[in-house]
């Protein structure tokens, strides 16, 4: 059995909306955003675990919770067998070098006033006792590793002097500078031109092998998900509704929402005929999620009990989990 690197148990995050003056005067109830609700899963060492779903489904919030960039409402997060929610600030600071993130927008995540040398050296100054020469050697090595050469000429430039793809390479280098074992990649190619995406995807794949990395990938581009993933999970309105090995997930989707996402993927092979499931309407507000199955307001297969009873996430087949009352009946 492969070692479990990250384990999430019943993780929940609710945001309490600040009430305005009129709401306070009228004594209205406090509104709660159900961003992540009772999510559990494991990420095995060396795997790429991918979260997909619509904007607003809770993917990025879940990633930030795992890194403790925001604190959960309840639940547990285990990293290398240790519950990181029990760690104090100094203990958490020491473990952060082993858990890093690649943000979606490379320009927004880089300080425009600092040079690349300063940006990449800062984590080393905080977490290591490297000398100035050692830090410079490390920065040069990482810049060359991510394809920015000659590194000596790159180091003293500012982020605005680079293209989007080059900036993303800098962000990747910063994530790797402390030799982490776990990286969350939040839509790492979404803001890049199509011609650059494949280069960054291949770079991430090569780095995973070279540095023995484990990824939590947040994505909506299905070809990218197919290429990079070992395990895929669908999120909808703060909950995981399906999860399984990548091949099973795409060949035999069990949840109507997952099938709708896959069936919407363009096919350039005229011999491939997909049964299309159309999803009507908008995702409900996370402030007031529907009772029962959260997808029932948009599902063409719903039953009466779907509106009243929330389905559990159960193992339908070996390693393939689904949250749907009708998963055994539907031939999707």
State the total domains in the chain. 1
Share of the chain above pLDDT 70, in %: 93
Q: Is the dihedral of CA 109, 50, 321, 43 positive or negative?
A: negative
pLDDT surpasses 60 at 289 = yes
- Among 185, 220, 222, which residue's Cα sits nearest to residue 203? 185
Query: Could you tell me if residue 128 is inside a domain?
Result: yes
Enclosing domain of residue 147: 113-177
Decide if 37 is inside a domain. Answer: no
Long-range contacts from 327-330, C-beta under 8 angstroms, 24+ separation: 327/254, 327/255, 330/254, 330/256, 330/301
Q: CA-CA distance, 249 to 234, in Å (whole number)?
A: 10
Q: Identify whether 120 is part of a domain.
A: yes
User: What sign does the dihedral 75-62-183-53 (CA atoms) show?
Assistant: positive
Q: Are 120 and 198 in contact (CB under 8 A)?
A: no
CA distances from 182 to 4, 176, 207 (A): 12, 10, 12
The per-residue pLDDT for range 250-286, each reduced to its tens digit, is 999 999 999 999 987 766 555 555 667 778 788 899 9
In a domain, 6, yes or no: no
Q: How far apart are CA 79 and CA 95, in angstroms?
A: 9
What is the band of 17 on the pLDDT scale with cuts at 50, 70, 90? confident
Q: What is the pLDDT of residues 290-321, one digit of tens each?
A: 999 999 999 988 999 999 999 999 999 889 99
Residues 92 and 97: their CA atoms lie apart, in Å, by 9
Give the integer Cα–Cα distance in Å for 332 and 260. 10
Burial tier of 213 (Cβ tally within 10 Å: 0-12, 13-18, 19+): buried
Q: Is residue 315 part of a domain?
A: no
| In a domain? residue 159 | yes
Gap between the Cα atoms of 136 and 27, Å rounded: 59
Is the per-residue pLDDT at 23 higher than 80?
no
Q: Which positions ≥6 away from 194 have C-beta within 8 Å?
A: none
Residue 8, domain member (yes or no)? no
- Residue 220 falls within a domain, yes or no? no
Range of weakest confidence among 163-167, 247-251, 265-269, 323-327: 265-269
pLDDT in tens, 171-223: 999 999 999 999 999 999 988 888 899 999 999 999 999 999 999 999 988 99
**Please, are residues 127 and 66 in contact by the beta-carbon 8 Å criterion?**
no
* Strand order, beta sheet including 99-102: 99-102, 182-186, 214-218, 48-52, 231-236, 239-245, 320-322, 314-317
User: What pTM did the predictor assign?
Assistant: 0.91
């Amino acid at each position: 059995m492969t070692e479990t690197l990250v384990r999430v148990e019943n993780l929940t995050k609710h945001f309490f909306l600040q009430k305005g003056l009129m709401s306070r005067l009228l004594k209205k109830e406090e509104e709660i955003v159900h961003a992540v609700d009772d999510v559990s899963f494991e990420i095995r060492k060396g795997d790429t675990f991918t979260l997909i779903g619509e904007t607003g489904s809770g993917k990025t919030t879940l990633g930030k919770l795992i890194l403790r960039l925001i604190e959960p409402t309840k639940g547990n997060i285990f990293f290398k067998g240790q519950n990181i929610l029990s760690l104090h600030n100094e203990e958490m600071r020491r473990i952060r070098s082993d858990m890093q993130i690649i943000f979606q927008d490379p320009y927004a995540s880089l300080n425009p006033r600092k040079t690349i040398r300063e940006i990449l050296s800062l984590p080393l100054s905080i977490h290591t006792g490297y000398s100035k020469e050692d830090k410079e050697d490390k920065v040069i090595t990482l810049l060359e590793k991510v394809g920015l050469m000659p590194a000596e000429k790159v180091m003293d430039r500012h982020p605005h002097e680079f293209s989007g793809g080059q900036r993303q390479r800098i962000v990747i280098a910063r994530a790797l500078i402390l030799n982490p074992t776990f990286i969350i990649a939040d839509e790492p190619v979404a803001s890049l031109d199509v011609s650059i995406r494949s280069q960054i995807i291949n770079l991430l794949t090569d780095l995973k092998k070279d540095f023995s990395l484990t990824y939590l990938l947040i994505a909506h581009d299905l070809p990218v998900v197919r290429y990079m993933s070992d395990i895929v999970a669908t999120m909808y309105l703060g909950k995981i509704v399906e999860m399984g090995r990548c091949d099973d997930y795409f060949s035999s989707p069990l949840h109507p929402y997952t099938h709708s996402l896959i069936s919407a993927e363009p096919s350039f092979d005229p011999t491939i005929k997909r049964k299309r499931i159309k999803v009507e309407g908008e995702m409900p507000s996370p402030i007031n999620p529907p009772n029962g199955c959260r997808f029932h307001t948009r599902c063409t297969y719903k039953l009466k009990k779907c509106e009243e009873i929330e389905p559990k996430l159960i193992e339908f087949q070996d390693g393939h989990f689904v949250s749907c009352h009708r998963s055994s009946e539907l031939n999707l």
